[in-house]
Amino acid sequence: MGQRLRTATPMADWRSLPFIVTDSAGHEDGDLVLVNDTVGFVHLGRPQLDADGCVKSPPYQLGDEALLIYHCEKYWAEKDGNAALLGARVYWSGVNGDPVTSVWQSGYYWIGIFVRAAAAGDTEAYIDLKGDKATIGA
């Protein structure tokens, strides 16, 4: 019998690391962030609680521990006004809150590929986070 091609990645293939929030503005669940040259999105994981046992708002503030998902096959990211082709590279400025783009600009990080085409008017895009150290360049 011939070789079989694996076409789906199990959820267990997500890779993460814990980090301490150093941004005074804090982070919301799903924000793209840069942590020690690694780009990923903040995952709510275990909610942070205040002294009264209530969930803090925003969920992650300066000094809180959060979880960074730096490798995942499918992630919905906020996208700028440029169209993106299936398989095109995804770039990001490295500034928290900035959308991803298909157009490289000086100083932007290459963080993955688009796994679905996205029209110029789309505000979100489906991407694959490549899961290695972020690289600046086209």
Q: How far is CA 21 from the centre of its chain?
A: 15
Q: List the beta bridge partners of residue 92.
A: 109
- Cα separation, 28 vs 78, whole angstroms: 13
Exposed, middle or buried: residue 77 (CB in 10 Å: 0-12, 13-18, 19+)?
buried
What is the predicted pLDDT for the residue at 48? Answer: 67
Q: Which pLDDT tens digit goes with each residue over 58-104? A: 677 788 888 888 888 888 899 999 999 999 999 999 888 899 999 99
Question: Tokens standing for 131?
Answer: 């899961």
Model confidence over 11-43: pLDDT tens digits?
Answer: 556 788 888 888 877 788 888 888 888 888 887
| Domain residue limits, the chain | 14-136
Beta bridge partners of 55: 49
Distance between CA atoms of 103 and 23, rounded to whole angstroms? Answer: 26
Which amino acid, residue 5?
L
Q: In the numeric block, which tokens belong to residue 10?
A: 């199990």
pTM: 0.78
SS3 120: coil
The CA dihedral of 24, 28, 32, 34, to the nearest 10 degrees, is 30
